[in-house]
Amino acid sequence: MVFLVDVERFEQLVAEALDSMPPALGEMMENIAVVVRDRHPSEDLLGLYEGIPLTERQDYGAMVMPDQVTVYRLPICEVCDDEHELRHEVTVTVVHEVAHHFGIDDKTLHQLGWG
């Protein structure tokens, strides 16, 4: 079963996931955009972080394009049966991808239960 929601509702769930993060963590996020897309063009992904993690930035500079977290609506909807599962999966995906912004790798995320 697939629990399909429209883009507007999905974006709202992503915003709620971001808002649920501790304020101190949100204040540390630097030069990052979070976007929603229907599906990755070539891979079966729930989310994707693209950028330079904060732990690896040196002379980052002011004219650098922002890092980007993309949350993929359709694959997440396809693994959920209801709104509760969808909300949970969106939150896990957002936290997982934002964690990459902070330099946390997949292995550590899995050990922490966010993989």
pLDDT at 57 over 80: no
pLDDT at 61: 60
Report the DSSP beta bridge partners of residue 36: 71
Domain 7-54+64-111 has CATH 3.30.70.260: no
User: What contacts 90, CB < 8 A, 6 or more positions away?
Assistant: 10, 13, 14, 17, 71, 76
Could you state, in order of their start, the residue ranges of all structural domains in the chain? Answer: 7-54+64-111
Q: What global pTM score does this model have?
A: 0.90
pLDDT at 59: 66
